[in-house]
Amino acid sequence: MEIGHRLNLAVEAARSPFWFTRIYSNPKRLERFREKRLREVVRFAYRNVLAYRELFDEAGIDASRVWDFDDLTRLPIIDKSFFRSRPLEELCSERGFGQLTSRRTSGSTGVSLLFAHSQRNRLKRILVDLRANMRLGLKPHQTHMVVASPEAMLRGRNPLQKIGLFRREYVSADIDPDEIARAVQRVNPHLLQCYPSHLGLLCDVVNRDRLPNLSRIISAGEVLTVAAREKIERAFGVPVSNYYGLKELGMIAWECDEHDGMHINWDLYHVEQMAESYQLVVTLLDADAMPFVRYNTLDRGRLDFSPCPCGCPFPRIAEVEGRSDDCIVMSDGRLIPPLRVNFVDFTGHTQAEAYQIRQIRPGHIEILLVPTASFEMSSCLSRIRRDIDMYLSPDLAFDIKLVDSIPRDPSGKLRSVVSLL
Ligand SMILES: [Zn+2]
């Protein structure tokens, strides 16, 4: 790393405590700070990134006249297809950023994409992540363990971890739950972060007495249902907090101890909720190598701007319902969000180990089940039909298919609904 770049990083790191406190205490200051960042981002994207320049020109947008978040709503919305349509150099500015870190998204929808960010942006992501963990009680001498995709394990240690603070241990989500449980017990972390589907499996195999340090569990990467949360809290005897993030953008929102929605890291991300689709559209408030301006995550959620009793001034995402491309599509075009599927007690009714819904055509689903020895097809059919009528739709047809196992995404995630439409 060149000297000038190192110096920039050091200055950014030294400023960051102010970056936290200055804007945290005063809502007006926070808004001014955010607007300033927005202007920087939009102008930077226009000047340095070809794809944005063409996008704004085509839409007739003068980037120098975007002043606040009202102006932002006039800009076009982009999604993954925007990043897919061009080579990386047209989506990125390498000007003055030094070495870029690239990250490939998991491709759970069959398409994997390469995203890049600078060391400076990485540092900011680490800091907002740390801020959330610290608000949830993590101390500098404590250990944070993450069950994640094998790719995350290759990332190496961040500057704080290199000097022995906020130790972080990884274990691959790819391995057997028994093996994950043994690794977790060996490390005995204070904070354990994991996909809820893995936590559900760990509930049955982990020995709670071997985890005296554990004070909190973070559920991330998939939708956390009420039932899953209760099961995990009962099994581990500690509270569960939900995090919402995207690999390409970092950790966007986290749940405080009020457990009533997730606070958006409002100083680094601006989030809009689309009126009809409830899709969440994110702007990264950092003029970074690869800007994100009005990026549609395709995740559905509801924003909550009411004050939170915890005192954090950041608005909340009340609920993330899951990806809109995982919605079940009915024959008449109606959409059923994937979260609703979790109300149907597939595994309870059928004594199955695991399940997955696959949509083959509109109005018709296939339910994959991994049966146990006590599985009996005839008794479960009527119960599933009743639940589907009640929670999803009486018009939804289904078939049941017995399988040996449910395949996970490349990142290790287990999705309850996969659309093959
Ligand atoms: Zn709160």
**What spacing in Å lies between the alpha carbon of 221 and ligand 1's midpoint?**
20
pLDDT in tens, 87-98: 888 999 867 667
Which residues are CB-contacts of 315 (< 8 A; sequence separation ≥ 6)? 263, 264, 266, 271, 303, 304, 305
pLDDT digits (tens, 9 = 90+) for 215-258: 999 999 887 888 889 999 999 999 999 999 988 899 999 999 99
CA of 52 to the centre of ligand 1 (A): 35
The yes-or-no verdict on residue 3 having pLDDT over 70 is: no
Model confidence at 182, pLDDT cuts 50, 70, 90, reads very high
In the predicted model, what is the mean pLDDT of residues 317-322?
A: 82
CA dihedral 119, 124, 128, 131 (to 10 degrees): 90
Which of 107-116, 230-239, 269-278, 305-314 has the weakest average pLDDT?
A: 107-116
pLDDT for residue 13: 57
Give residue 260 CA to ligand 1 midpoint distance, Å.
Answer: 7
Q: Confirm or reject CATH 2.30.40.10 for domain 3-137+215-320, answering yes or no.
A: no
How far apart are the CA of 313 and the centre of ligand 1, in A? 8
Q: Could you report the per-residue pLDDT of 8-66, keeping only the tens digit for each? A: 666 655 555 445 555 566 788 889 999 999 999 999 999 999 999 999 999 999 999 99
Q: How far apart are CA 280 and CA 296, in angstroms?
A: 6
Position 102 scores a pLDDT of 74
Enter the tokens of residue 143. 């250990």
State the helix-helix crossing angle for 226-236 and 196-205, rounded to 10 degrees.
Answer: 40
What distance in angstroms lies between residue 309's CA and the mean position of ligand 1's atoms? Answer: 6
* Centroid of ligand 1 to alpha carbon of 359 (angstroms): 37
pLDDT at 412: 66
Mean of the pLDDT values across residues 157-186?
86
pLDDT of residue 20: 55
- Residue 72 token pair: 């932002």
Q: Domain spanning 327-419 has what CATH number?
A: 3.30.300.30
215: CA distance to ligand 1 center in Å? 19
CA of 318 to the centre of ligand 1 (A): 11
From the CA of 405, how far away is ligand 1's center (Å)? 39
Q: How far is the CA of 261 from the centre of ligand 1 (A)?
A: 8
Domains of the chain, by residue range, sit at: 3-137+215-320, 327-419
